[in-house]
């Protein structure tokens, strides 16, 4: 992370008042009073005294005296061993790879010394380190400047693999300062400055093993707060999460040259990215890439589209969980949602449930231009992306027929990307609302009524069968008729007749479609007559 200070350049006639006098190289056991950032220091100090504990070809390692004095000899030996290991990693991997790609730090720099100072002190939870560009200016301009090329590391991470990622991150800030501010005289926007530093550990291979990596940490940060704005910088975990995940996607599909050439561009922020994309022959601009990324983190499926997924194997299973909105399963239902978003922030709203035809209506703040995309998934979970046309008032709608029968869900992605530069503080919120409603068609209502009537008929048949069984049970042996043949003519109105019972027993044996009532009474009345007619009609051929 970087701590950028706005520095007003003051022209002084006497050159030596601006530049510090040439200094001798630091020596082991040298004590120096350093200014530090109290917002990062564990004890909220703004100054500390530190002693130079190790010197290498490219590095000075200073350790906070309060920390060092609290350690026994064994712990001190462990610290020196960890510094030796870290210095080798810096000089063999971090320094040569980052400088060969992006260019060098300011060298020999403000202190006229080619070595970089690393100050190690206890920091607050969640801080891996920081960089203060004020250290690159003379005290005449920045009174709290340490007048060194230096970075700060949290002592907590010494001896842990993550410290390599944190050192790479902070050193990348040193490079950016030189390449952008020192050489070109322009200050990079914070979000893009941090993007390069966030990608440094991945470039160096520190994220190849996902477990306990900086990438794993950033995935966790992102999934906890996926709606965070990419360009609004508040130095929170959510900022690092969304920035890292977007940068991973950008370089997955467009390559490291986009970050490199944007660094050497005379432009900053989004315009520098667009310039680098155009220079490298890509048709997409930053806006289209951001849109594709919001879809990619939702579906992460190359089959849906080549740009709708991550290529990094460690990110193949990463997906955001959209906010779920459930429509009641009534014949008619509706849901109204009021929400807000910011420039370059993802927003995912999933609609499920409902019954009948679904109509979706969007209404955005007409002071800003929205883009709305939606992911429609059918019952087989085959999905497609569509864009919603919005009029000048930022209103638009669409309808999906037979929702919840033909479709399982629809996910809305409203986006704003109108601001291209000047991201220096809190960004304004823009409100939007949407309404989802379902209505059954007359055909569906008629079909549903028929289903209900058929169900009632089946229920009545079951009740008749149950009643008949109870009658048989009550009558006992009286309704157990044993017939070999019917010798007499039977006619309507015949009562209490044994042969009528035989006929009824026979008709009952033909099933419910012939004699659903199944009564064995010996009385030849209308039910028996109708059953006999059904039997005759069935076998008339």
Q: Kindly report, residue by residue over 448-477, the tens digit of the pLDDT.
A: 667 766 777 777 777 766 666 666 565 554
Classify residue 476 by burial, with Cβ atoms within 10 Å: 0-12, 13-18, 19+: exposed
Residue-wise pLDDT tens digits, 6-61: 443 322 222 223 344 455 789 999 999 999 999 999 999 999 999 999 999 999 99
Q: Are residues 410 and 485 in the same domain?
A: no
Closest by CA position to 298, among listed 183, 377, 207: 377
Q: Are residues 335 and 406 in the same domain?
A: yes
Distance CA 380, CA 382 (A): 6
Q: Are residues 378 and 487 in the same domain?
A: no
Considering its fold, how many domains does the chain have in total? 3
Residue-wise pLDDT tens digits, 265-279: 999 999 999 999 999
In a domain, 337, yes or no: yes
Of the listed ranges 72-76, 197-201, 478-482, the one predicted with least confidence:
478-482
**Average pLDDT for residues 255-265, to the nearest whole number?**
97
- The tokens describing 369, both together, are 């231009």
* Contact predicate 47/33, CB 8 Å: yes
Residue-wise pLDDT tens digits, 383-425: 999 999 999 999 999 999 988 889 999 999 999 999 999 998 8
What are the helix and strand counts (H, E) for the chain?
15, 16
Distance CA 226, CA 247 (A): 14
Q: Tokens 């990215």 belong to which residue?
A: 273
In a domain, 245, yes or no: no
Q: What secondary structure letter does DSSP report for 517?
A: S
Closest by CA position to 191, among listed 110, 286, 295, 321: 286
Geometric angle at alpha carbon 76, from 205 and 87, rounded to 5°: 30
- The tokens describing 240, both together, are 């690092």
Residue-wise pLDDT tens digits, 321-368: 999 999 888 768 889 999 999 999 999 999 999 888 999 999 999 999
**Average pLDDT for residues 224-249, to the nearest whole number?**
96
Entry field: residues in the chain = 541
In a domain, 259, yes or no: no
Pick the more confident residue, 523 or 467.
Answer: 523
Distance CA 165, CA 168 (A): 5
Instruction: Name the residue range of residue 495's domain.
Output: 471-538
Q: Are residues 39 and 166 in the same domain?
A: yes
Q: Are residues 350 and 496 in the same domain?
A: no
- Partners of 236 in the β-ladder: none
Q: Are residues 31 and 176 in the same domain?
A: yes
Residue-wise pLDDT tens digits, 318-333: 999 999 999 888 768 8
* Contact predicate 250/258, CB 8 Å: yes
* Contact residues for 503 (Cβ-Cβ < 8 A; gap 6+): 486, 490, 524, 528, 532
User: What sign does the dihedral 372-378-380-384 (CA atoms) show?
Assistant: negative
* Contact predicate 134/176, CB 8 Å: no
End of a domain among 160, 187, 214? 187
Closest by CA position to 122, among listed 52, 65, 59: 65
Helix (H) or strand (E) holding 174: helix 162-176
Mean pLDDT score of the chain? 89
In a domain, 314, yes or no: no
In a domain, 390, yes or no: yes
Distance CA 62, CA 35 (A): 13
* Contact residues for 182 (Cβ-Cβ < 8 A; gap 6+): 106, 136
End of a domain among 423, 440, 457? 440
End of a domain among 159, 187, 215? 187
pTM: 0.78
Distance CA 93, CA 208 (A): 15
């Amino acid at each position: 992370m970087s701590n950028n200070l706005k520095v007003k350049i003051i022209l002084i006639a006497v050159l030596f008042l601006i530049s510090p006098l040439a200094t001798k190289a630091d020596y082991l056991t040298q004590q120096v009073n350093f200014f530090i950032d109290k917002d990062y220091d564990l004890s909220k100090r703004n100054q500390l005294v530190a002693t130079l504990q190790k010197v290498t070809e490219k590095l000075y390692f200073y350790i906070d005296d309060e920390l060092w004095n609290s350690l026994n000899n064994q712990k001190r030996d462990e610290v020196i061993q960890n510094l030796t290991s870290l210095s080798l990693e810096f000089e063999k991997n971090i320094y040569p790879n980052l400088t060969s790609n992006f260019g060098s730090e300011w060298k020999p720099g403000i202190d006229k010394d080619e070595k970089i100072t690393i100050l190690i002190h206890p920091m607050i939870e969640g801080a891996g380190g920081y960089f203060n560009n004020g250290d690159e200016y003379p005290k005449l301009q920045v009174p709290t400047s340490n007048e060194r090329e230096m970075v700060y590391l949290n002592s907590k991470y010494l001896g842990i693999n993550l410290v390599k990622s944190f050192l790479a991150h902070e050193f990348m800030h040193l490079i950016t300062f030189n390449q952008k501010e020192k050489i070109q005289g322009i200050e990079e926007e914070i979000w893009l400055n941090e993007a390069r530093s966030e990608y440094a550990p991945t470039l160096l291979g520190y994220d190849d093993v996902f477990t306990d990596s900086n990438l794993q940490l950033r995935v966790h940060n992102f999934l906890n707060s996926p709606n965070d704005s990419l360009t609004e910088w508040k130095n929170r975990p959510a900022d690092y999460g969304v920035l890292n995940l977007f940068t991973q996607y950008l370089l997955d599909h467009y390559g490291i040259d986009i970050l490199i050439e944007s660094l050497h561009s005379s432009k900053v922020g989004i315009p520098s990215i667009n310039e680098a994309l155009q220079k490298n022959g890509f048709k997409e601009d930053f806006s289209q890439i951001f849109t594709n990324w919001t879809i990619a983190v939702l579906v992460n499926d190359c089959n849906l589209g080549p740009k709708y997924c991550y290529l990094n194997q460690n990110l193949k299973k990463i997906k955001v969980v959209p906010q779920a909105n459930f429509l009641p399963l009534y014949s008619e239902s509706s849901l109204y949602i009021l929400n807000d978003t910011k420039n370059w922030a993802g927003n995912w709203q999933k609609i499920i449930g409902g019954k009948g035809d679904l109509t979706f209506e969007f209404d955005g703040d007409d002071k800003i231009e929205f883009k709305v995309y939606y992911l429609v998934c059918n019952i087989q979970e085959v999905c497609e992306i569509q864009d919603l046309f919005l009029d000048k008032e930022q209103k638009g709608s669409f309808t999906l027929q037979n929702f919840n029968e033909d479709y399982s869900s629809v996910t809305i992605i409203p986006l704003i990307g109108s601001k291209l530069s000047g991201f220096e503080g809190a960004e304004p919120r823009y409100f939007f609302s949407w309404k989802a409603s379902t209505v059954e068609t007359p055909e569906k209502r008629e079909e549903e009524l028929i289903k209900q009537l058929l169900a009632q008929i089946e229920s009545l048949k079951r009740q008749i069968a149950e009643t008949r069984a109870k009658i048989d049970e009550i009558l006992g042996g009286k309704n157990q008729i044993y017939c070999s043949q019917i010798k007499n003519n039977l006619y309507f109105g015949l009562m209490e007749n044994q042969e009528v019972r035989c006929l009824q027993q026979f008709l009952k044996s033909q099933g419910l479609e012939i004699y659903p009532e199944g009564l064995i009474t010996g009385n030849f009345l209308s039910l028996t007559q109708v059953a006999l007619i059904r039997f005759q009609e069935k076998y008339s051929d």
